[in-house]
Amino acid sequence: METLKAFAASSPILSLALVVLTVAIVANEFAQLFRGYKTLRPAGLTQLINQESALVVDLSASNDFEKGHIAGSRNVMPSSFDPENKTLAQARSLPVVLVCRNGQASAAAAKRLKKAGFEKVHWLDGGIVAWQQADLPLVKGR
């Protein structure tokens, strides 16, 4: 404890930076707990697909979707994404997993689904890039 006090006294700027970063990390972790949708890694997604028949919605552009997507996923353009879409509306009580190329667009869509009353909303952290890095297969074409 004395070493920490000595560090704080000799390096006030670094000490302040440490406190700010610690608060930011804790705030981010709390935000993730209360955002309403769950983060999945590729292994968790494969388990959810196999055990609970999750609906996977890919928000990639059509040409990116055709270059490679998760087997069984449905392509919905981000500009036309609507929680009341007939494909999505039928899956209100099923697990719905949102994916995109890097995970950014799908995180925003997951938030919209949760607000629309969907019960089991998931988001693939890292998107298709993370899926490929896990050496999992992609399907080409439509």
pLDDT digits (tens, 9 = 90+) for 95-140: 999 999 887 788 888 888 888 888 889 989 889 999 999 999 999 8
Q: Sheet holding 95-99: strands in order across?
A: 38-40, 120-124, 95-99, 55-58, 74-75
Class assignment of domain 37-133? alpha beta
- Write out the E strands in 1-142: 38-40, 55-58, 74-75, 95-99, 120-124
| 2-46 pLDDT per residue, tens | 888 888 888 888 888 888 898 888 876 666 666 678 888 999 999
* Confidence grade of residue 56 (pLDDT, cut at 50, 70, 90): very high
SS3 (DSSP) at 127: helix
Which of 26-30, 49-53, 63-67, 134-138 comes out lowest in average pLDDT? 26-30
Query: How far apart (Å, rounded) are the C-alpha atoms in residues 67 and 45?
Result: 20
Question: Where exactly are the structural domains of the chain?
Answer: 2-33, 37-133
